[in-house]
Structure 1
Amino acid sequence: MGDARQYFNLTSPFAFKRGGALVDAQVAYETWGELNAARDNAILILTGLSPSAHAASNAADTSAGWWEEMLGPGKHIDTNRWFVICVNTLGSCKGSTGAASIDPATGEAYRLAFPELTLEDAANAAYELVRGLGIERLACLLGNSMGGMTALAYLALHPGSARGHISISTAPQAQPFAIAIRSLQREAIRLDPNWNEGRYDDVRYPEAGMSIARKLGVITYRSAMEWVGRFARIRLDSEQREDDPFGAEFQIESYLAGHARRFVRNFDPNSYLYLSRASDWFDIGEYGGGSALQALKTLALERALVIGVSTDILFPLSQQEEIAQGLEAGGAQVEFVALDSPQGHDAFLVDIARFGAAIAQFLARL
């Protein structure tokens, strides 16, 4: 298995919205398909908090990507027609510069010396990449979850930089419920004694804190309805249980533990803290005199597709409606799709049939 990951060097110093700057920073990205002669068939994908740029397999890396069934030759996002770019968010730990990267000034990891990251900084980094690839205007900017907020920041900072926009299960600003959950996730990490103000290593690592943060996330990414359907109150077999009187007793507990185990060492805790806080800080209303609706009117799009899921408790359908109304008020032709997928917020990763159909239809008209 090769590595399809490419790197783009950002302007140095790269200034941050809340102050501070990075020297010699980069973003990691992958591409699929070919940029046409007119350079007008590019789609940029901005991801949720934890994915890498590897959205799908390609010649250089044949391993399955996180959106494997959505993207590729002849698939819903057809790379025979489109040139697709997926960028790893600035501040992440999957190739782009983040808190786990080496600070050239000290020769050590930035840790908490990393500047205060906002989604606007991530948006500006992605915009630099697109311009660096020689693309004046995107055919379509696609963002899901946190990436959807980053996409709104991208369009607010660079109006007219995309003809079309696909907004998936996201928010014009963080709501109290989402902020509360992310606040608890960050607290779990920070209360782990091994976090040590961000100065952990592989031996003393905030395993417990990261595990609780991930479990909390997974609970909110799906719906109560799905948990009932999948696990009900099924108990573990006696040999699967721990001796601890308060140990895991139900299948749902074991499922969450498995999810956490796979995640804990695969994502840097400080990067998690930075991206989580950046999500809480985001408010498109800052670009509309405090009004999200006014800000959404200014994004200068021709067409938009807004998709939400009725069972999403983290980014509820009402927020998708708000985005759709705002974009429509700004003169864009907007399609609003409300899906009743049982999988909650994670549905865009799982219910490919329904999401894919809506996306393919929209792209066919673009």
Structure 2
Amino acid sequence: MNDARRYHKLPSPFAMKRGGELHGAQVAFETWGKLSAAADNAVLILTGLSPSAHAASNDQDPSPGWWEAMIGPGKAIDTNRWFVICVNSLGSDKGSTCPASIDPATGSAYRLSFPELSLEDVANAAHAAVSGLGIEKLACLIGCSMGGMSALAYMLLHPGSVRAHISVDTAPQAQPFAIAIRSLQREAIRLDPNWNEGLYTDERYPDTGMAIARKLGVITYRSAMEWNGRFARIRLNAEERDDDPFGLEFEVESYLEGHARRFVHTFDPNSYLYLSRASDWFDMAEYGNGNVQDGLKRIRIEQAMVIGVSTDILFPLEQQEQIAQGLETAGARVEFVALDSPQGHDAFLVDIENYSRAMGGFLAQL
């Protein structure tokens, strides 16, 4: 068990946007730094689909976090100044209540009886955790990828709860390309015979489906420029290949295989399905009579930084521009940062130098 992980019990029942409710639910979170006496220095981070709340190392858990280079004393998100909170999404199996959790009504895992999950539910659960820490207003809300969509929901559903916002490689609604990819990922999992309508076990786990889902994801997280630069058409050495007539032949295939192997069995397949579909469903246009800009205009914050990458095919730059325009129209002072990182959607995890400069600069002047 991770000693740094803490838990916030959600109100019971916890009502879900699309119907249904959870009883005895919780979200996991971790914190860094100290909360000021006035509770006015809190920074909340909402994550992408698969990360846990362990965004950085701390005294209780010295293992490196998924955003280790960004969070800490003297880093872009400076824990000497900020009290940093990272909440694990409701529906994720990294400590929060999810389809793999026990349903108190039955004593068995929810599996597919888990209520339909939306990113609005993720936002409401995160807000409950923040309120539970005695924080009425965040100094800054940072949302990355799927977490950026959850952050938009958070600000819209809880007006007055956020002063400033950093939007990182996200979208105000899922575009057809992103929906298509996620749909294929879910199909790969559901077509694996071991998925068994969600009734898999550790011994009979949908390895193949999860591996294909992960490979599809990794392909879209990086850009064609990055693939060309890293792998070109380099072939594996004879001893690295297997005897399968259609087996791995190119280095890029081996790279994807390694990524998939590391991911399989580290994430609950049903949780993956629920969070993936929640990302497809999210749409700020719902709050603006069918218009994304009108939905964004309902968010009231003082200032924002919106960061995007020109090589991101999953959350393209024009979607970051949409967010920036919407928040600006609503009255926020908005800084728009378009980066040219070759890493595509994953740039915020890899191009630390450019993201640090942008985000550190923004946070320093708050």
Task: Name the TM-score, length of structure 2 as normaliser.
Answer: 0.99
8 Å Cα contact 1:303/1:332 also seen in 2: yes
Output the CA distance in 1 between the equivalents of 2:285 and 2:139. 25
Match in the other structure for 2:235: 235
Equivalent position amino acid for 1:136 in 2? E
Match in the other structure for 2:115: 115
Match in the other structure for 1:31: 31
SS of equivalent residue, structure 2 residue 167: strand
Match in the other structure for 1:85: 85
Shift, 1:96, TM fit: 0.2
Output the CA distance in 1 between the equivalents of 2:298 and 2:278. 22
Output the CA distance in 1 between the equivalents of 2:164 and 2:47. 17
Shift, 1:168, TM fit: 0.4
Write the mapping of 1:48-87 to structure 2, written as runs, cut at 5 A: 48-87=48-87
Match in the other structure for 1:98: 98
Shift, 1:339, TM fit: 0.1
Write the mapping of 1:133-212 to structure 2, written as runs, cut at 5 A: 133-212=133-212
8 Å Cα contact 1:76/1:359 also seen in 2: yes
Write the mapping of 1:261-300 to structure 2, written as runs, cut at 5 A: 261-300=261-300
SS of equivalent residue, structure 1 residue 108: coil
Match in the other structure for 1:124: 124
SS of equivalent residue, structure 1 residue 166: strand
Output the CA distance in 2 between the equivalents of 1:167 and 1:356. 14
Equivalent position amino acid for 1:120 in 2? E
Match in the other structure for 1:251: 251
Task: Give CA-to-partner distance per residue, 1:157-202, whole Å, 9 cap, x none.
Answer: 1122100000000000000000000000000000000000000001
Shift, 1:351, TM fit: 0.3
Output the CA distance in 1 between the equivalents of 2:285 and 2:256. 36
1:305 paired to 2:313:
no
Match in the other structure for 1:340: 340
Shift, 1:365, TM fit: 1.2
Task: Give CA-to-partner distance per residue, 1:60-97, whole Å, 9 cap, x none.
Answer: 00000000000001111000000000000000000000
Could you list the structure 1 runs, at least 4 aligned residues long, displaced by more than 6 angstroms after superposition: none
Equivalent position amino acid for 1:224 in 2? A
SS of equivalent residue, structure 2 residue 193: coil
Shift, 1:10, TM fit: 0.1
Match in the other structure for 1:355: 355
Shift, 1:19, TM fit: 0.5
Output the CA distance in 1 between the equivalents of 2:156 and 2:99. 26
Output the CA distance in 2 between the equivalents of 1:9 and 1:47. 19
1:42 paired to 2:77:
no
Output the CA distance in 2 between the equivalents of 1:336 and 1:80. 26
Task: Give CA-to-partner distance per residue, 1:118-155, whole Å, 9 cap, x none.
Answer: 00000000011111110010000000000000000111
SS of equivalent residue, structure 1 residue 102: coil
Shift, 1:2, TM fit: 5.5
Shift, 1:106, TM fit: 1.0
Output the CA distance in 1 between the equivalents of 2:52 and 2:119. 16
Equivalent position amino acid for 2:129 in 1? L
Match in the other structure for 2:12: 12
Output the CA distance in 1 between the equivalents of 2:166 and 2:91. 23
SS of equivalent residue, structure 1 residue 361: helix
> How many matched pairs?
366
Task: Give CA-to-partner distance per residue, 1:286-335, whole Å, 9 cap, x none.
Answer: 11111111111111110000000000000000000000000000000000
Output the CA distance in 1 between the equivalents of 2:2 and 2:319. 40
Task: Give CA-to-partner distance per residue, 1:1-56, whole Å, 9 cap, x none.
Answer: 95200000000010000100000000000000000011100000000000000000
Output the CA distance in 2 between the equivalents of 1:269 and 1:54. 20
8 Å Cα contact 1:2/1:62 also seen in 2: no
Output the CA distance in 2 between the equivalents of 1:137 and 1:2. 28
8 Å Cα contact 1:160/1:299 also seen in 2: no
Output the CA distance in 2 between the equivalents of 1:3 and 1:222. 33
Identity percentage of aligned residues:
76
Equivalent position amino acid for 1:353 in 2? E
SS of equivalent residue, structure 1 residue 142: strand
Shift, 1:109, TM fit: 0.7
SS of equivalent residue, structure 2 residue 194: coil
Q: Which runs of 5+ in 2 are unaligned?
A: none
